[in-house]
A and B are shown apart, each in its own frame.
Chain A
Amino acid sequence: MRRILKYVILDIIKNKTIIAYTIMLALFSWGTFALEDNVSKSLLSLLNIILLIVPLMSVLFATIYVYNSSEFIELLVSQPVKRSKIWNALFTGLSISLIIAYLVGAGIPLLLFSDTGTALIMIAAGSLLSAIFVAVAFLSSIITRDKAKGIGISIMLWLYFSLLFDGLVLFLFFQFSDYPIEKIVVLLSALSPVDLFRILVLLQLDISDMMGYAGAVFEKFFGNQWGLLISFTLLALWIIIPFYLSLKKFKKKNL
């Protein structure tokens, strides 16, 4: 597995799309930090960009990469290696490469310009987000053999997590505004890795005081070390579950 992993990473980090992605992230981050004198404001702008671009890039790139590697995967399967090792190596390789791109592009300016705590949370969560959407991509690319369909599914999932899910939450807020639904919403937010990430960063920026009671519930839940641990566990689950499902399917797949 390590052999395959090494060459997969070597292949991906030389990929032009990944290089462009890294440069774009770097431009955005340096740009927002340089143009805005208020660090927390630039963190918020950066957060917006990261929340949109990191998932989209990760899911699209990984989906296309998996489809383009189908013949390569066949070649690997004809070798004396377990299928799970191949799938693992591809997943790890893609995740690591995208995380490297994120770290180089956004991580360095974050560490330089913002306070260490917030920077570390954003780096950790952004890296997890990259891996999560690679896992999502693996799932959608194993569901169908058709590349166009697979990319479509990936984009739909991205759209769901970035946009539709929030719409749903807002709808719930209004529908049940007469009931104490704050705690339920806390649970609900765990159902979208993008939201979980956003809320983690917002809590770092003291926004919770503006959410009234819900903010207090959130602060209580996510503000302490246990909450942080739980949220990162949840984010990790978002990697493990889709990937495990895809792996199960890949083991039985006809190539």
Chain B
Amino acid sequence: MITIKNISKQFGRLPALNNLNLELRQGECIALIGPNGCGKTTLIKSILGMVLPNEGTILFNEKDIRNDNEYRRSIGYMPQIGRYPENMTVGQVIDMIKGIRNSDEQTDEELYDQFEIGNMLHKKMRTLSGGTTQKVSAVLAFLFSPKVLILDEPTAGLDPIASEILKNKIIKAKSKGCLILITSHLLSELEGVASQVIYMQDGKLIFHQDVKALKTATGQDTIAKSIVQLLKRDRA
């Protein structure tokens, strides 16, 4: 569904992505992990068209995303930190995004109901807590039943209940055949959700494997443990 071919990106002299190749297929839930500053966010932003790579191409359904914005109609994005104009109300933000999408499709209001957003439509964004803002971001990402979901640290700041609701929603989406890309520092969060793991370091791809294959190869029962094992082996 998304093909990434030889992309590189430098910010000034600092290389953020270094000749990266990836093939992301439909129906997968891919955990994007790696140490801080490894290029995860740059990769996500490249896919979303926020960062323009110096080299290489990104294909979305076999179409180059350069100079295109319509492909983003099929993407739901939940940023790491959502900051919205201070004086907009929750209702206005949702209305505005609906207006921009301007789609006739039935919106998916499951999260909207579960997070009880309806009760706070009149509240101004600046008065919301970090967790509530994240809830709004999540609602916006899932609202249009997108084919691809890109979630940047989705559970950070969410309370355990909301976190669980979101997790269930992700699994549901995966079962519907969506491609889901998640970054998270908490590897345990990804357990039971992720079907593939991409590990990056210094802008390079270290590995891209199925979770099952990974667990079998390392003989561990959690993603976290298997990755630690794998990295130890590499270093040794």
Q: Do chains A and B touch in the complex (CB under 8 A)?
A: yes
Alpha-carbon separation in the docked complex, A252 to B49 (Å)? 10
**B207 in the interface (beta carbon within 8 A):** no
Q: Is the interface of B mostly helix, strand, loop or mixed?
A: mixed
The residues of A that contact B93 with a CB separation of less than 8 Å are: 7
Alpha-carbon separation in the docked complex, A71 to B137 (Å)? 12
Q: Could you say which of A69, A82, A252, A254 has the most chain B C-beta atoms within 10 Å of its C-beta?
A: A254
Alpha-carbon separation in the docked complex, A223 to B128 (Å)? 55
- CB of A252 within 8 A of CB of B52, answer yes
Closest-by-CB residue of B relative to A1 is B100
**A81 in the interface (beta carbon within 8 A):** yes
**A225 in the interface (beta carbon within 8 A):** no
- CB of A74 within 8 A of CB of B50, answer yes
Alpha-carbon separation in the docked complex, A230 to B171 (Å)? 63
**A100 in the interface (beta carbon within 8 A):** no
CB contact under 8 A between A7 and B73, given known A75-B79, A79-B101: no
Minimum distance in angstroms from B127 CB to a CB of chain A: 13
The residues of A that contact B48 with a CB separation of less than 8 Å are: 77-78
Alpha-carbon separation in the docked complex, A119 to B49 (Å)? 47
Q: Is the interface of A mostly helix, strand, loop or mixed?
A: helix
- CB of A11 within 8 A of CB of B87, answer yes
Alpha-carbon separation in the docked complex, A69 to B88 (Å)? 12
Alpha-carbon separation in the docked complex, A255 to B48 (Å)? 10
Closest-by-CB residue of B relative to A2 is B99
The residues of A that contact B49 with a CB separation of less than 8 Å are: 77-78
**B104 in the interface (beta carbon within 8 A):** no
Residues 243-255 of chain A, each 1 if its beta carbon lies under 8 Å from chain B, else 0 = 0000000001011
**B45 in the interface (beta carbon within 8 A):** yes
- CB of B73 within 8 A of CB of A254, answer no
- CB of B100 within 8 A of CB of A3, answer yes
**A233 in the interface (beta carbon within 8 A):** no
CB contact under 8 A between A75 and B77, given known A11-B85, A255-B45: yes
Q: 5 extra interchain contacts, Cβ-Cβ under 8 A, other than A81-B69, A83-B69? A: A7-B96, A10-B92, A71-B82, A78-B77, A254-B50
List 10 A–B pairs whose Cβ atoms lie within 8 Å, in order of A's numbering.
A3-B100, A70-B83, A71-B79, A72-B83, A72-B85, A74-B50, A75-B84, A78-B49, A78-B79, A80-B69
Top 3 closest pairs, chain A to chain B, by CB? A3-B99, A71-B83, A14-B87
CB within 8 Å of B: which residues of A? 3-4, 6-8, 10-12, 14-15, 68-72, 74-83, 252, 254-255
